[in-house]
């Protein structure tokens, strides 16, 4: 299916939800996503054009193993250096070209893949009159996937910027994009940044 805004242009009811574009996933990190460098300019462009409509999420690991419950304990057993007791807090920060827009852009921290787990983000967006989410960031097949599926369940119009999402695993990215474009085509639109910018009227 061709990428397009099948359900019309974007306006005041839309916000840009940027997922986990942090130093934690950039060059030099144990969790580095090499592809993040490719999408950084597109994400930064969209944020710079509409900073008051930008909402960032940040993935924040637990402070220590005692705070890593359930299956997360197994996960952090493999990545103990990413626990906050060992991690320089600077790694948690947004990429600098994005952080400079806060404020007016907003930031929501989360300890898990989904940003919807505690209801704060949903309440904020609904309170601001937002019913459409333009989504960028990473990873396509992990945190972006969790964000998109939660947004669909909550009834948002979801627009994924197809050239401004990334993953450390190309097969996972490709599979997720196929899922979004085919099985979920009535609930998720995918469109390139150029089309988003042309179609976002206000």
Residue 79 lies in a domain: yes
Task: Give the model's pLDDT for residue 1.
Answer: 57
Count up the domains in the chain and report the number. 1
Q: Is the pLDDT confidence value at 2 over 90? A: no
Q: What is the pLDDT of residues 152-183, one digit of tens each?
A: 999 999 999 999 999 999 999 999 999 999 99
Q: Is the pLDDT confidence value at 29 over 90? A: yes
Asked whether the bond before 139 is cis by omega within 30 degrees of 0, the reply is yes
Residue 1 lies in a domain: no
Residue 3 lies in a domain: no
What confidence category does residue 201 fall into, taking pLDDT thresholds of 50, 70 and 90? confident
Residue 35 lies in a domain: yes
Residue 6 lies in a domain: no
Residue 73 lies in a domain: yes
Is the CB of residue 24 less than 8 Å from the CB of residue 59? yes
Report the CATH number that the domain containing residue 51 is assigned in CATH: 3.40.50.850
Alpha-carbon gap, residue 21 to 36, rounded angstroms: 8
Task: Give the model's pLDDT for residue 3.
Answer: 87
Alpha-carbon gap, residue 24 to 139, rounded angstroms: 12
- Centre a 10 Å sphere on the Cβ of residue 64 and count the other Cβ atoms it contains: 13
Alpha-carbon gap, residue 59 to 79, rounded angstroms: 14
Alpha-carbon gap, residue 183 to 176, rounded angstroms: 10
Residue 4 lies in a domain: no
Which domain does 24 fall in, by range?
A: 14-199
Alpha-carbon gap, residue 180 to 186, rounded angstroms: 9
Residue 62 lies in a domain: yes
Question: pTM here?
Answer: 0.96
């Amino acid at each position: 299916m061709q990428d397009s805004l099948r359900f019309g242009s974007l306006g005041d009811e839309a916000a840009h939800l940027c997922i986990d574009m942090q130093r934690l996933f950039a060059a030099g990190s144990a969790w580095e996503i090499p592809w993040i460098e490719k999408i950084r300019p597109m994400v930064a462009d969209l944020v710079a054009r509409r900073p008051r409509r930008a909402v960032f999420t940040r993935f924040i690991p637990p402070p220590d193993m005692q705070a890593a419950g359930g299956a997360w304990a197994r996960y952090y057993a493999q990545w103990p250096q990413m626990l906050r007791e060992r991690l320089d807090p600077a790694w948690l920060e947004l990429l600098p070209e994005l952080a400079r827009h806060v404020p007016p852009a907003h930031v929501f921290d989360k300890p898990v893949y989904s940003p919807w787990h505690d209801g704060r983000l949903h309440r904020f967006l609904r309170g601001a009159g937002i019913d459409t989410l333009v989504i960028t960031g990473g990873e396509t097949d992990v945190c972006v996937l969790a964000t998109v599926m939660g947004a669909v369940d909550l009834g948002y119009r979801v627009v994924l910027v197809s050239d401004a999402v990334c993953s450390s695993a190309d097969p996972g990215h490709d599979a997720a994009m196929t899922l979004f474009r085919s099985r979920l085509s009535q609930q998720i639109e995918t469109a390139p940044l150029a089309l988003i910018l042309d179609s976002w009227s206000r």
